[in-house]
Amino acid sequence: MKQIKKRYIIVGGLLLLLFLGLFFLSTIAKNYLVKNSETLIGRRIQLKELHINYLKVAIRAKEFVMYEQNKVDTFAAFKELYVNFQPWKLLHNEYAFSAITLDSAFVSVTQNGEAFNFDDLVPPAQDTISTEESVEPNDSDPLHFSVRNIHLLQGRIHYYDQLVDNLVMMENLNLNLPLIAWNSEESQMGVDFRIGAHGAVSLGANVDHRQNKYLLSLDMDSIGINAATNYLKEYLNVGAVNGFLHTNLRIHGDMAQVMDLIISGDATLDAFEMTATNGETLISATQFFTEFDSLDIDKSYYKLGNIRVEEPRLYAKLEKDGSNIEKVFLPLMEEDSTTIESKPESLPEDSTVIKYHIDSIMVNNGVITLADLTLNRAFKYEFKAINTAIGAIDENADNIPVSFSINMNDNGMFSGTSHFSLEDPYRFDFDGHLKKLQLMSFSPYTEYHIGRPITQGDFTYKCQVNMTKKKMENQNDVRIEELEFGDKTGDTTATNTPIRLGLYLLKDPNDVIAFNLPVTGNPSDPEFRLGKIIWKAFMNFLIKTASSPFKALSSLAGTNPESLETLPFDYMQDSLGVAQRKTLDKIYTIITKKPDLVFSFSQQTDPMIEKEHLAVREVKRRMLAATMPLNNTEDSLALEKRLLEINDEDEAFNAYMAQYNHLPDSLSMGSKCYQLVGEETIGQTFTQLISTRNALITHYLEEEKGIARENFEITTADLKNIPEELKSPKYKVEVTLK
Mean pLDDT in the chain?
Answer: 82
pLDDT single digits (tens) 370-401: 999 999 999 999 999 999 999 999 888 888 99
Could you tell me if 479 and 516 are in contact, meaning their C-beta atoms sit under 8 angstroms apart? no
Q: What is the pLDDT of residue 707?
A: 93
**Of the candidates 584, 726, 606, the residue with the CA atom closest to the CA atom of residue 670:** 606
Helix, strand or coil, per DSSP, at residue 625:
helix
Which of the pair, 700 or 154, is modelled with greater confidence? Answer: 700
Q: What is the pLDDT of residue 503?
A: 43
Alpha carbons 104 and 106: distance in angstroms, whole number: 7
pLDDT at 508 over 70: no
Mean pLDDT of 319-346: 71
pLDDT category of residue 319 using cuts at 50, 70 and 90:
very high
Alpha carbons 385 and 413: distance in angstroms, whole number: 10
Which of the pair, 737 or 450, is modelled with greater confidence? Answer: 450
- Determine the number of helices (DSSP H) and then strands (DSSP E) in the chain: 16, 30
Mean pLDDT of 638-651: 83
pLDDT at 212 over 70: yes
How distant, in Å, are the alpha carbons of 369, 566, 646 from that of 514?
30, 25, 54
pLDDT single digits (tens) 224-245: 988 888 888 888 989 999 999 9
pLDDT category of residue 36 using cuts at 50, 70 and 90:
confident
pLDDT single digits (tens) 278-307: 899 999 999 999 999 988 888 888 899 999
pLDDT single digits (tens) 43-78: 888 888 888 776 677 888 888 898 988 888 898 998
Distance of CA 496 to the CA centre of its chain: 43
Helix, strand or coil, per DSSP, at residue 559:
coil
Give the least confident one: 14-18, 82-86, 525-529, 722-726: 14-18
Residue 209 makes CB contacts below 8 A (sequence gap 6+) with 184, 185, 186, 187
Other beta carbons less than 10 A from residue 368's beta carbon: 15
Q: Which residues pair with 97 in a beta bridge?
A: 85, 147
Mean pLDDT of 343-370: 78
pLDDT category of residue 260 using cuts at 50, 70 and 90:
confident
pLDDT single digits (tens) 551-596: 656 766 778 878 888 999 999 999 999 999 999 999 898 888 777 7
Looking at the chain, the whole-number percentage of residues with pLDDT higher than 90 is 30
pLDDT category of residue 346 using cuts at 50, 70 and 90:
low
Alpha carbons 209 and 182: distance in angstroms, whole number: 10
Could you tell me if 484 and 604 are in contact, meaning their C-beta atoms sit under 8 angstroms apart? no
Q: What is the pLDDT of residue 141?
A: 54
Alpha carbons 368 and 92: distance in angstroms, whole number: 72
Sequence-ordered alpha helix ranges (H) in 36-119:
37-41
Q: Length of the chain, please?
A: 738
Q: What is the pLDDT of residue 500?
A: 39
C-alpha neighbours within 13 Å on the C-beta side of residue 661:
1
Q: What is the pLDDT of residue 183?
A: 62
At the top level of CATH, which class does the domain 556-737 belong to?
alpha beta
pLDDT at 129 over 50: no
Q: What is the pLDDT of residue 132?
A: 47
Q: What is the pLDDT of residue 330?
A: 85
Alpha carbons 649 and 652: distance in angstroms, whole number: 9
